[in-house]
Copies of this chain bind each other. A is one copy, B any other.
């Protein structure tokens, strides 16, 4: 077995001697990294803790960079890996750090948020990636159809409520696109209470669309759930 195959086996977790230990280390680094994203936002954090998290992040980025380079070097088709979904996930886990060198604080904030996609790296090493991928492929067509339907429903409701409420609440329903916030919050039944119709027409319109639209919005959600469950059932032999 040449060194490329050995490295790939170690990264995939089925190396004959190292086994899953490499994967466990990377998994641990991801969890630590995700935790530190949260911890560094805590107000009143002492300086030494902040410096410790910064140094730790350096080490995490270094490790992820080595992993990324190894993956490119050992991939049978280099370009195919780089432009694959997981290639982008691996890149986005380290890119924010390299881009942030020599940038002002404001743009840095926008880059930092990208670190949260390291969660996707976690999915890969958890062994659930194949299952989730299979679920999505199974319902991809339906998801596109019903996702579009949901978006159109949101837009339709936003146009309606805009005409009813714009005149009396111009700040909350300032445009159709702005009213889509109301559509989404209402049709998912979250209902924060920051914007709601106050005219009689707007209220009647809301009641009518609520009953029709709840069903439309519920479909994509249910599709993903049931697909995930089905894939899971197929994997293991039935218990009953």
Residue ranges of A at the interface with B (Cβ–Cβ < 8 Å): 34, 37-38, 41-43, 109-110, 112-113, 116, 119, 122, 128, 138, 142, 145, 147, 150, 152, 154-156, 158-160, 162-163, 166, 174-177, 180-181, 184-186, 188-194, 196, 198, 203, 206-207, 210-212, 214-225, 228-229, 232, 239
**A37-B176, A38-B176, A219-B229 are known contacts; what are 6 more A-B pairs with Cβ within 8 Å?**
A37-B159, A43-B175, A150-B211, A188-B214, A190-B191, A192-B192
A207 partner residues in chain B, CB cutoff 8 A: 154, 180-181, 184
Contacts of A155 in B (CB 8 A): 34, 38, 119
| CB-defined contacts of A189 to chain B, threshold 8 Å | 188-191
In the bound complex, how far is the Cα of B35 from the Cα of A175, in angstroms?
Answer: 12
- Most B-side CB within 10 Å, residue of A154, A160, A207: A207
Q: Name the residue in A122, A180, A198, A221 with the highest tally of chain B Cβ atoms < 10 Å from its Cβ.
A: A221
Give the chain B neighbours of A128 by CB distance below 8 A: 145
List residues of chain B with CB within 8 A of the CB of A239: 138
User: How far does the alpha carbon of A60 sit from the alpha carbon of B128 in the complex, in Å?
Assistant: 49
Residues of chain B within 8 A (CB-CB) of A224 are 212, 215-216
The CA-CA distance from A119 to B218 in the complex, in Å, is: 20
Known: A176-B38, A188-B210. A163 touches B222 (CB 8 A): no
